[in-house]
A and B are shown apart, each in its own frame.
Chain A
């Protein structure tokens, strides 16, 4: 078992019995579900909107070569720079070197999961740069020295009391009260100082619009607008799968993203950015860079079966819908992307060897597939990852031998019935001798968490036989 798998087992098992944690998540998910149910009703036809988004992403992903280059050309025409990063290291180094050459001391960031994926902040901090996360949730987890708990709502696992205690410790001079509003104001005061002292702003991208050469960003706090307009340099981080063909596609994608993500008709701030300050413009950054990150994505593009994973718009709906996520939370995964999309995607980004266990940590309930707004068949991709892990011999030997034995048993009715009877007789004898609830219970893996069903003395087949086919 890989180190990551062992860590996951430990963390997930610990979180699964943490009732307080489970209660906080469930409360948040209930609020989310109610909002999304209302949100979907605003659509004349939610299913048609999903299908439309699926088709737009299909078009984009199947013509990435064309749309990415079109996007790049437009950005360059307006004086922006585009850097194609094959690896996280290349992406980190590009920003670090840019920051060094411009003597950047402070960076403000709006939310970007790709910067988490490439582990940008530790690299910048190593080089003596102060990095401020300015999305409220991200700011909170940064103060706690934690990774985001959820791709959309990074501090979902915390309540007001915990945040109050954190702020009192980290930014005591800004805390003026205990209410939600006063806590938000405290963060706002601290972040305002950062916004106006930063020499560089970093943002993510929800979409890269190919025909306009623009970056589309959705936020609810307005922090992205400050990050992208106040500092003299703006750097955008985006995975190559973020490109969409046309501006008009946003007409569906924006509201669908907002609805699936939070239940909103559209996020409070929907921003389009096309490059650095132009000659006839009075403000905005003088430098504009877009980093297009591959990091395994073009390899995934070659995988015909799972290519649609690149359709993901990072709305978080599958996390919220996942009963596993709801019980173990985001941190147990140990990945940048959590929940079903994380379980499917991570083996492609970080290797199947270390990360196939996440595809097994699912009851295959299929709720992720059902809620995905771009119709990625997530549940079936978990099955594909499992099959790929077996084919690559990444599963433990006892399991492989066990399945071979299973096949041998199931290929004959006689063997199946004999082994079944043998198993039941053994159980009946042992349970008759009082082995249930002891270390000798052969059903221990099952009975550790639940009672065993009563053992049937005779199979259906044998009853049928005995009754002469009745």
Chain B
């Protein structure tokens, strides 16, 4: 039986980079998932939470839990938003009536690459992307969710893709949410360090699991007139001939479950 997954599409992905969510859906379908999409979802509350406005974040987080609490498995194309639900909801909602639901939900929310490798047990999704690619470790994904191996495993199995390590892959790109506009100068300096490392790797594309970081990195790369482009992992995994044909991925999915 195909597993049912519920889409958690972060607010900025929904509004600014819908293609990332479409690509994620395409990959999930290809490995045989059935997909639910709660249309009433908005935001997980992270912007207010990170800004210190916990009283504003709390009702938005509670609303999120109400919408997703009956979902079996939730998948999200962002490490940061996943970390918000899994790692920060327990603290934010510790005195809320939704506490128990929030805590339980945290164990069922997965970042996209984490879901593929650790839950669905798929590393080859039949993608083809004949380019030199380097991977950037987004901070929340790496240091809150401890996910770094999974996206690399997925990338290694993409046909034609040459995965190149960049120096200091784990160093923050400087996005940091509101930080990127409140302290734009510092954010840009950090972005330059990242851009230098991307260029030093010689990769054509930098990929990551968080569109927010990628928007900042790409914006900075473009401003500098760099050739390298930014692309979300989901978009790499959704591309290529094999992607359309289907591949053997769905059987691997079945075996994994």
Q: Are B186 and A16 in contact (CB under 8 A)?
A: yes
Q: Closest Cβ of chain A: how far from B58's Cβ, in Å? A: 9
Q: Does A270 contact B (CB under 8 A)?
A: no
Indicate if B254 sits at the interface (CB-CB under 8 A): no
Contact across chains for A459 and B189 when beta carbons are under 8 A apart: no
Cβ of B53 and Cβ of A460 under 8 Å apart? no
Q: Report Cα–Cα, A424/B18, bound state, in Å.
A: 13
Q: How far is the CB of B120 from chain A (nearest CB, A)?
A: 20
Which stretch in B106-114, B136-144, B150-158 binds the other chain? B136-144
Contact A390 B53 (CB under 8 A): yes
- B169 at interface (Cβ–Cβ under 8 A)? no
Q: B-facing mask of A424-455, CB < 8 A → 1, else 0?
A: 10000000000000000000011111111101
User: Judging by beta carbons under 8 Å apart, are A386 and B52 in contact?
Assistant: yes
Contact between chains at A328 and B18 (CB < 8 Å) = no
**Chain A interface residue bracket vs B:** 35 or more
The DSSP consensus for interface residues of chain B is helix
Q: How far is the CA of A264 from the CA of B51 in the complex (A)?
A: 38
Task: Mark interface residues in A316-340 (1 if CB within 8 Å of B CB, else 0).
Answer: 0000000110111000000000000
Complex alpha-carbon distance, A366 and B141, angstroms: 11
**Is B3 an interface residue, CB under 8 A from the partner?**
no
A-B contact count (CB 8 A): 187
- B49 cross-chain contacts in A, Cβ below 8 A: 383
Q: Which of B173-194 contact A (CB under 8 A)?
A: 174-177, 179-191, 193
Binding-face segment, B34-42, B127-135, B200-208, B238-246 = B34-42
Q: Is the CB of B18 within 8 A of A456?
A: yes
Asked whether B72 is an interface residue with its Cβ less than 8 Å from the other chain, the reply is no
A362 sits at the interface (CB 8 A): yes
B86 to chain A, nearest CB (A): 14
Q: How far does the alpha carbon of A209 sit from the alpha carbon of B150 in the complex, in Å?
A: 46
Q: How many residues of B contact A (CB 8 A)?
A: 64
Given the contacts A411-B60, A445-B184, A456 and B219 also touching, CB distance less than 8 Å: no
Among the listed stretches A50-58, A92-100, A402-410, which one makes contact with chain B, having 4 or more residues with CB under 8 Å of it? A402-410
Report Cα–Cα, A451/B184, bound state, in Å: 13
Q: Do A324 and B50 touch across chains, with their CB atoms under 8 A apart?
A: no
Report the Cα distance A9→B184, complex, angstroms: 10
B143 touches A363 (CB 8 A): no
Contact: B139 with A364, CB < 8 Å?
yes
A443 to chain B, nearest CB (A): 9
- The residue of chain B having its C-beta at the shortest distance from the C-beta of A361 within the complex is B183
Query: A290 near B: Cβ within 8 Å?
Result: no
A406:B47 contact, CB within 8 angstroms: yes
- Specify which chain B residues have a CB less than 8 angstroms from the CB of A360 in the assembled complex: 179, 182-183
Closest to A443 in B: B181
Among A367, A410, A453, A459, point to the contact of B60 (Cβ < 8 A): A410
> What are 29 of the A-B contact pairs (CB < 8 Å)?
A12-B185, A13-B186, A16-B186, A16-B189, A326-B193, A360-B179, A360-B182, A360-B183, A361-B182, A363-B139, A366-B140, A387-B54, A389-B52, A390-B51, A390-B54, A403-B48, A406-B47, A407-B53, A407-B57, A407-B60, A410-B43, A411-B42, A413-B40, A416-B11, A424-B15, A446-B219, A452-B219, A456-B17, A458-B18
- Nearest 3 CB-CB pairs, A to B? A363-B176, A450-B219, A386-B52
**Chain B positions near chain A (C-beta within 8 angstroms):** 9, 11, 13-19, 21-22, 37, 39-43, 45, 47-57, 59-60, 63, 139-140, 143-144, 170-172, 174-177, 179-191, 193, 215-216, 218-220, 222-223
- 10 new A-B contacts at CB < 8 Å, known A323-B193, A390-B52: A369-B143, A407-B57, A410-B63, A413-B39, A423-B15, A450-B191, A456-B16, A460-B13, A464-B37, A464-B39
